[in-house]
Amino acid sequence: MAVPRVLVYGGKGALGSAVVNMFKTKNWWVCSVDLFECEAADCNVTLTPTDSWTSQAEEVSSKVDGALGDSKVDAIVCVAGGWAGGNAASNEYVKNCDLMWKQSVWTSVLASQIAAKHLNSGGFLLLTGAKAGLEGTPGMIGYGMAKAAVHQLVASLSQPKSGMPENSSVVAILPVTLNTPANRKAMPNADFAQWTPLDELASRLVSWSAGEDRPPPSTNLLQVVTVDGVTTYTPVN
């Protein structure tokens, strides 16, 4: 059997590294796209920081084409992102909104562009939203706005004539808080049993990518909630 292939957008971050490692334990070939090299990946597409979305798109397209050639991948998992707070009165308001747009929306759009060209028919595209993006986020406006945009992008990509490959699946995960080193440092007194473990989420993404228990076509947004160490994946109505 051919070795399954996945492209992980954001493969060097905390969640991205966990996802890359989990795919490798399941004997997938992994290509990481990030600003930094992921040592565990079989292939790295390393990007140059830029303030131009179109320039970033051109670089991503050229480098991914060079890395993959005419070959396809079975899944594309975009776990790039970040967090910044601030309301409309904050001195960093526009700056943080810009950062959130770059980290969540740029990456999601570029991952979907890669999928339109390099994802196999019947393949799987995973984008990362947030449960907070389902409602108002007055203390972190840029974050909520960007995540809500990702949710809308997934809704559009899931429709006919979106440009996605035939019979492909598009899903967004909507976590609350991930159990990352950065979050632990920022909130050392939190109850970590209410945070989603990275390996738990990574394992689920590998299963979906392999076609196992993949959400049905009618389910595009999945809330990821962990309570007392137990993680559930609930469709957004």
What is the length of the chain?
237
Q: Residue 169: its pLDDT value, please?
A: 95
Alpha-carbon distances, residue 134 vs 21, 98, 106, 108, 196 (angstroms): 30, 20, 19, 17, 18
Quick: pLDDT tens for 110-137: 999 999 999 999 999 999 999 999 999 9
Where are any strands of DSSP class E within 29-177? 29-34, 43-46, 73-78, 119-128, 169-175
Rounded Cα gap, residues 14 and 190, in angstroms: 19
Q: Where are the domains of the chain?
A: 5-177+199-217
Quick: pLDDT tens for 20-76: 999 999 999 999 999 999 999 999 999 999 999 999 999 999 999 999 998 999 999
Under the banding of pLDDT at 50, 70 and 90, the label for residue 107 is: very high
Do 81 and 10 touch, CB atoms closer than 8 A? yes
3-state SS assignment for residue 32: strand
Rounded Cα gap, residues 145 and 152, in angstroms: 11
Q: Residue 30: its pLDDT value, please?
A: 98
pLDDT of 94 strictly over 90: yes
Under the banding of pLDDT at 50, 70 and 90, the label for residue 193 is: very high
Mean per-residue pLDDT of the chain: 95
Given the structure tokens 């979050």, which residue do they identify?
Answer: 183
- Give the DSSP per-residue string, 168-184: -EEEEEEES-B--HHHH
∠155-200-17 over CA atoms, to 5°?
85
Under the banding of pLDDT at 50, 70 and 90, the label for residue 83 is: very high
Do 125 and 131 touch, CB atoms closer than 8 A? no
Do 189 and 207 touch, CB atoms closer than 8 A? no
Do 119 and 168 touch, CB atoms closer than 8 A? yes
pLDDT of 1 strictly over 80: no
Q: Residue 131: its pLDDT value, please?
A: 96
The proportion of the chain whose per-residue pLDDT surpasses 90, expressed as a percent, equals 92
Under the banding of pLDDT at 50, 70 and 90, the label for residue 10 is: very high
Give CATH for domain 5-177+199-217: 3.40.50.720
pLDDT of 219 strictly over 90: no
Q: Residue 2: its pLDDT value, please?
A: 86
Catalytic residues: 143
Q: Residue 216: its pLDDT value, please?
A: 85
- Quote the DSSP letter at residue 104: I
3-state SS assignment for residue 18: helix
Measured between alpha carbons, how far apart are the two ends of the chain, in Å?
38
Q: Residue 158: its pLDDT value, please?
A: 94
